[in-house]
Amino acid sequence: MIPFSPMSTHIQGPVRVRFAPSPTGFLHVGGARTAIYNDLLRQSVGGAFILRIEDTDKERSNEAMTRQIQSALAWIGTVWDEGPFLQSERLERHRERAAELLANGRAYRCFCTAEELEGRRKAAEAAGSAFLYPRTCLARPQEELDALLAAGAPFVVRLRMPDDHVRFDDIVRGAMDFPPEALDDFILLRSDGSPTYHMSVVVDDIDMGITHVIRGEDHLSNTPKHVPLFRALGGTVPTFAHLPLILGPDKKRLSKRYGATSVEEFRNEGILPQALYNFLALLGWNPGDDREVMTREEMIAAFTVERLNDSAAVFDREKLWWMNGQYILRLSLQELWPHLEPFVEQAGLAGEDRERLQAALELHRTRATTLKELVELVQPYFRSELTYDPAACAKFLKDASLPDLLDTLRARFNALPAFTKEALEAALRALSEEKGAKAGVLIHPTRMALSASTGGPPLFDLIEVMGREATDRHMGRFLAFLREGGKPAEG
RNA sequence: GGCGCAUUCGUCUAGGGGUCCAGGACGCCGGCCUCUCACGCCGGUAACACGGGUUCGAAUCCCGUAUGCGCUACCA
């Protein structure tokens, strides 16, 4: 028993953590989640969160993407203390450290060409065994090496891996143990002298004093390479936490084919940053009790790495939408407004009366799960005409006396000295009573007239916010529509 | 192929030997509220991958199988 006491993984802090995305596209939700856990750890125990952009692959990186990633990180609410540092600006440093390894014998030059190695690799694969660099150049006589170097033959620099097992503790995986047969002398510097990813990360992590590396599980297999490199460079090996991946509904790595995967896309769909942060944090972590809708502060207070999950999670869009709806419900309109504004603008409502717009939004907030939907719902208040669906109006079209009745109601509404919901309701109920009908007979067609919908907020709230002018106009148009037998709206 | 990691309701998860014929949430279904829709509330549906151990007792520990995923580059 007691293979690992939980206390052994508990982090006291202060820590120095980092998020190191490569700017090859928009910030993926998986990356965002990694950033969130770094943020939560940093905020909960103190220390520093460093942002480092791994832009050494020039082909796939560009400055716009770097800015994009920063703005997405800031938008969801992560806070970094240092950076962004660009890895591309540290290439000299990486080379310098590789030269040291070469000088002290922890690394060596390899003159084998990529082509000949590729051939061996294929052969090994065909034979069903793993390919490891056979240390040809480590075994070469010194004179031969000197001659090759003097002749200007291209070479790569390889790390001389230790002969014993590589072991490390992973916070989420437990004890890791890799036998020497599983590891080979990997490349530190390419033949053009540029550092590989492995070289760059380790040097940067050492130089930046990183104490805890929280990253995706796709790096778990790279870690046994990194650990000996940390040691060879005289650095302290950080503590690792490898997070499980986020999957799509097909249980494969989350991909485009099932819709949005980047933070930016969710933002454009009308997801609130608080909701996305909350949702992502819960995809692989939980506070240990039943809380789900939590503020960042509450999550920081509850965060511990021991509660990080070790199995992959399917990204459930439906639940994100639900959670976003919860935030739309719980936030004040004032808090919501800055996030709503871009959608208001997009919907062409930016110039409308602010007070009326906000009153309408307030009326509909329980009925929307995204900001985009919410703004959509409020359109009828500002449109000069609505399009009625004959199918949805079939019931009203059958009642021949309805148009006149609605006309009367419209007149009574117009005659009201104060256009308040109390007065409106009294007027409508009085009329239905006079006609010996139930209030619903008037309520439902009126709702349809004003909103072109069978659902929505309580009718009298709706009319009050709609206002005298728009109410009269919509009712007039609806009457015409009914009298024309439900002809699909004119122009 | 090799190496590594994972496996509780459809999905996110609680659970670290008995208190679990497995708890919460999303979804779905039913009901209440009600002028409609939504919110809210109440109730229901549904899971320990499989096979062996260990143990008085296993969702929990061990081994195997299956499945999924990751890595396997002079990409990051």
Confirm whether any atom of chain B, the nucleic acid strand, is less than 7 Å from CB of A426.
no
Cβ-contact A446, A437 below 8 angstroms: no
Mutual angle of helices A440-451 and A421-434, in 10-degree steps: 130
At CB < 8 A and 24+ separation, what contacts does A334-341 make? A336/A272, A336/A361, A336/A365, A336/A371, A339/A272, A339/A273, A339/A371, A340/A371, A340/A374, A340/A375
A256 is catalytic: yes
Per-residue pLDDT in tens (0 to 9) along chain A, 491 residues:
223 344 457 888 799 999 999 888 889 999 999 999 999 999 999 999 999 999 877 666 678 888 999 999 999 999 999 989 999 999 999 999 999 999 999 999 999 998 889 888 888 877 777 888 999 999 999 999 999 999 999 999 999 999 889 999 999 998 898 998 889 999 999 999 999 999 999 999 999 999 999 999 999 999 999 999 999 999 999 999 999 999 998 888 887 777 788 999 999 999 999 999 999 999 999 999 999 999 999 999 999 999 999 999 999 999 999 999 999 999 999 999 999 999 999 999 999 999 999 999 999 999 999 999 999 999 999 999 999 999 999 999 988 899 999 999 999 999 999 999 999 999 999 999 999 989 999 999 999 999 999 999 999 999 999 999 999 999 999 999 999 887 755 43
Confirm whether any atom of chain B, the nucleic acid strand, is less than 7 Å from CB of A119.
no
Q: Which residues of A spanning 176-215 put their CB closer than 7 angstroms to strand B?
A: 176, 178, 182, 187, 190-192, 194, 196-198, 200
Q: State the nearest residue by CA to the C1' of B37.
A: A455
Closest C1' nucleotide to A245's CA? B69
Q: Which nucleotides of B are covered by protein (CB under 7 A)?
A: 1-8, 10-17, 23-27, 35-40, 61-62, 68-76
Confirm whether any atom of chain B, the nucleic acid strand, is less than 7 Å from CB of A356.
no
pTM of this structure: 0.94
Query: The tokens of A325 are what?
Result: 């709806």
Distance A388 CA to B29 C1' (A): 32
> Is the ipTM beyond the 0.85 threshold?
yes
Closest C1' nucleotide to A53's CA? B76
Closest listed residue to residue A478, CA positions, set A371, A406, A398: A406
Cβ-contact A329, A367 below 8 angstroms: no
Query: DSSP secondary-structure letter at A246?
Result: E
The one catalytic residue among A58, A225, A252, A256? A256
Query: The tokens of A161 are what?
Result: 């891996």
Closest C1' nucleotide to A115's CA? B74
Cβ-contact A472, A410 below 8 angstroms: yes
Distance A255 CA to B69 C1' (A): 14
Distance A308 CA to B18 C1' (A): 27
Closest C1' nucleotide to A314's CA? B11
Distance A220 CA to B4 C1' (A): 8
Cβ-contact A60, A21 below 8 angstroms: no
C-alpha to C-alpha distance for A269 and A234, rounded to whole angstroms: 48
Confirm whether any atom of chain B, the nucleic acid strand, is less than 7 Å from CB of A160.
no
Q: In sequence order, what E strands does A164-289 have?
A: 166-170, 174-178, 187-189, 212-216, 239-243, 246-247
